[in-house]
Structure 1
Amino acid sequence: MNNEITVRRLGANEVTRYIEALADVLIDCVEGGASVSFMLPISRATAVEFWTRVANGVVRNERILLVAESADGHVLGTVQVVIDQPENQPHRADIAKMLVARRARRRGIAQHLMSAADDAARAAGKSVLVLDTVTGGDAERLYQRAGWQRVGVVPNYALMPDGTLCGTTFFHKQLA
């Protein structure tokens, strides 16, 4: 990654200070058409409420929150590693809400966030990762280039922000 962008894990003592910036990224992505569990129009209150729940999960050590920041401290992207799993799956983690602001795309940020997520999962003792993404979207290619294995597609699984149905592709990755 270039020297202008850093990817780092947010600690429990600082995560709440990032809620507004993370809300900006989420709103931007949803307004740009990303199917990431939210519908248009997405309100700021909805985005802040979501990130407040995520922050609480970080504080409870249920999830790892990574951010990509510019040299001037602006949040450009984020991804989560959900490490709190059922007792029969202590080796597994879910990758969630991999988001990059539209103005920051095509700079390798998503690739670096995913690599950092792999490293964070390994450090947390996880060896199997799973995620899902919109079928046919740019993220599918990103995940395949990063070594993820496609499991399959569920047609009409979710809604795009504009209300149209979309398929969802599921992936897994076995960490070495």
Structure 2
Amino acid sequence: MNDHVAEISILSPVELEAHLFDLADLLHACVHAGANINFVLPFSQDQAMDFWRQKVVAPARAGTRVVWVARTSGDIVGSVQLDTDTPPNQPHRAEVTKLLVHPDFRRRGIARRLMADLERHAAGLGRSLITLDTRTGDKAEPLYVSLRYTVVGTIPDFCRDPFEDRLHPTTIMYKLL
């Protein structure tokens, strides 16, 4: 992967399916680098591919999941998703899921740019409340705070550590757009 400025774009469902291998590689690399994003080791390429096929493609086709990617010299180095599949009494809300930046491309503003595009898009859809959760103390938590997300609280023993049999709390956050 080359070291050029990342281009941010939304993937259509057709593009999403065309880039499943690249997205699986990104997810696999992030999990193996310690990202606590619902997976534990051992975590295979096949499991990463299954996640994208089973959990992302169908909602994207249905129009309830928007997927952004960050590309550097054509390579996918980051991704984030906006889940708009909310109950009928919450049409103003959406959820951020799976903010991923390849370990070799972190600390370059890619996550911040992905989130900015996601927030603009959400506002354009009339979604004025964005929610997310992150493992308490994770590297992403200060990023979200710097983006003006408000901490609601923590839930103890919410998620398992990707490397060892240990539970961690998660922090629930929101932002009014």
Local SS of the residue matching 1:115: helix
> What are the Cα deviations for residues 21-77 of structure 1, in whole angstroms up to 9, with x where unaligned?
11111111110111101110111111101111302211110110010111x210001
CA distance in 1, matches of 2:19, 2:84: 20
Gaps of 5+ in 2: none
Aligned length: 173
* Amino acid in structure 1 at the alignment position of 2:102: A
- What SS does the aligned partner of 1:107 have? coil
> Mind listing any 5+ residue stretches in structure 1 that lack a counterpart?
none
The runs of at least 4 aligned residues of structure 1 exceeding 4 Å deviation read none
Show the counterpart of 1:7.
8
Matches within 5 A, 1:152-167: 152-162=153-163, 163-167=165-169
Output the CA distance in 1 between the equivalents of 2:5 and 2:36. Answer: 28
Indicate the residue corresponding to 2:96 in structure 1: 95
Q: Identity across aligned pairs (percent)?
A: 38
The alpha carbon displacement at 1:4 in A equals 2.2
1: CA distance, partners of 2:107 / 2:155: 28
Note the C-alpha offset of 1:122: 1.1
CA RMSD of aligned residues (A): 1.3
TM score, norm. by length of structure 1: 0.95
Distance in structure 1 (CA, Å) of the matches to 2:4 and 2:126 = 29
* Residue number in structure 2 paired with 1:33: 34
Paired residue secondary structure (2:127): coil
Report if aligned partners of 1:64, 1:120 keep a CA contact under 8 Å in 2.
no
Match of 1:14, SS state, is helix
The offset of 1:3, in angstroms, is: 6.6
